[in-house]
């Protein structure tokens, strides 16, 4: 495998803490893991296709054939999504930033949705921001015909970044057609780009403050539980803006937990938390010094 290509793909991991840990431990992904990282960590649709093509040239046999199918599936999804029809509408969502109101517009075509985006900024005399995000949902219109059966109306979805750069596109009828997926992922050993079962060296400990950022730019903060020394795929995190943290109902905070994939998680210091969250974070840590239901009790020194 091309070492430079592998390093480029590892550099796409968002978590700087994880990348530092990988360099420290000399982590080197398997072919299956590298393929998954390229697919999941690519910053946009075009880059994802370019990386897949480079991997196709590196791999042989079953992996090469799978990547060919995957590239074809992705390109077909893009073309199918853009295709207009009298029986579909394109539901456009505009988020000026991650916390802004979800502006929604019904459009008659994909091109109309893109034009609506331009008209939106023109109407409100402002420009998109670094964290502006768009989502287009392609929906089937129910006409109410006598022989028309019930069917789910959502046909596919596209996420777009600032500048209307396509991040991802899916047509649900063809989902995972490249894998011939039967849904039984736990025992499957076939090549698959869309799996998250990569065990990375652990770099976050029990009680650590963490942040994570999704592809739309939304930043969230939480406290990690059960962290240890064993390699892991994800971290068990309680968001610091969750109801039970705000109410200091720490005994029941597991109801608000989230699983954050290791490539998205970042270990931070308490000083990096938003000021409004620090007191709740420290209160939760004090609880963890007296209670072992979420892992070993924190020591007074920690």
The predicted structure's pLDDT at residue 196 = 64
The predicted structure's pLDDT at residue 189 = 61
The SS3 of residue 167 is: strand
What sign results for the dihedral spanned by CA atoms 290, 295, 296, 299?
negative
Lookup: tokens for 253? 């905070």
The predicted structure's pLDDT at residue 146 = 77
Strand order in the sheet with 88-95: 103-107, 88-95, 133-140, 154-161, 165-171
Span 63-83, pLDDT tens digits: 999 999 999 999 999 999 999
Give ∠ CA 203-201-49 in degrees, rounded to 5: 105
pLDDT, averaged across the chain: 91
pLDDT band at residue 1 under the 50/70/90 scheme = low
The structure's pTM equals 0.87
Strand pairing partners for 279? none
- Quick one: average pLDDT of 272-283? 96
Classify each residue of 164-176 as buried b or exposed e, where b means 16 or more C-beta atoms within 10 Å of its C-beta: eebbbbbbeeeeb
Please report, for residues 18, 47, 141, 156, the alpha-carbon distance to residue 229 in angstroms, rounded to integers and kept in the order given.
14, 34, 52, 40
Helix 31-41 crosses helix 3-10 at what angle (to 10 degrees)? Answer: 50
Question: What is the DSSP pairing of strand 265-267 with strand 209-213?
Answer: antiparallel
User: What distance in Å separates the CA atoms of residue 102 and residue 106, rounded to the nearest whole number?
Assistant: 13
Span 184-235, pLDDT tens digits: 555 556 677 877 678 999 999 999 999 998 877 789 999 999 867 789 999 9
Span 34-66, pLDDT tens digits: 999 999 999 999 999 999 999 999 999 999 999
User: What distance in Å separates the CA atoms of residue 291 and residue 207, rounded to the nearest whole number?
Assistant: 12
User: What distance in Å separates the CA atoms of residue 275 and residue 222, rounded to the nearest whole number?
Assistant: 13
Non-local (6+) Cβ contacts of 69 within 8 A are 177, 178
Checking if the pLDDT of 285 tops 80, the result is: yes
Give ∠ CA 37-192-153 in degrees, rounded to 5: 100
User: What distance in Å separates the CA atoms of residue 10 and residue 33, rounded to the nearest whole number?
Assistant: 10
pLDDT over 90 percentage in the chain: 75
Strand pairing partners for 138? 90, 156
């Amino acid at each position: 495998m091309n070492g430079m290509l592998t390093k480029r793909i590892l550099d796409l991991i968002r978590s700087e803490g994880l990348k530092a840990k990988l360099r420290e431990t000399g982590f080197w992904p398997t072919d299956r893991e590298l393929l998954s990282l390229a697919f999941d960590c690519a910053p946009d649709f075009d880059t994802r296709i370019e990386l897949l093509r480079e991997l196709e040239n590196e791999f042989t046999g079953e992996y090469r054939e799978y990547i060919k199918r995957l590239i074809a599936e992705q390109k077909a999804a893009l073309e199918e999504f853009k295709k207009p029809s009298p029986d579909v509408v394109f539901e456009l969502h505009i988020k000026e930033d991650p916390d802004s109101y979800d502006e929604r517009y019904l459009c008659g075509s994909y091109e109309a949705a893109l034009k609506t985006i331009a008209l939106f900024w023109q109407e409100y005399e402002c420009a998109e921001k670094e964290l502006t995000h768009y989502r287009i949902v392609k929906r089937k219109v129910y006409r109410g015909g006598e022989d028309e059966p019930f069917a789910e109306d959502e046909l596919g979805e596209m996420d777009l970044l600032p500048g209307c750069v396509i991040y991802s596109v899916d047509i649900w009828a063809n989902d995972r057609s490249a894998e011939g997926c039967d849904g039984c992922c736990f025992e499957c050993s076939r090549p698959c780009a869309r799996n998250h079962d990569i065990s990375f060296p652990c770099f976050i400990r029990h009680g650590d403050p963490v942040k994570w950022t999704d592809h739309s730019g939304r930043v969230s903060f939480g406290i990690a539980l059960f962290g240890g020394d064993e390699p892991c795929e994800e971290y068990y995190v309680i968001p610091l803006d969750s109801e039970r943290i705000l109410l200091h109902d720490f005994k029941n905070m597991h109801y608000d937990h989230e699983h954050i994939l290791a490539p998205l998680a970042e270990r931070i210091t308490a000083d990096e938390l938003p000021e409004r969250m620090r007191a709740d974070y420290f209160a939760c840590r004090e609880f963890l010094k007296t209670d072992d239901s979420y892992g070993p009790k924190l020591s007074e020194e920690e």
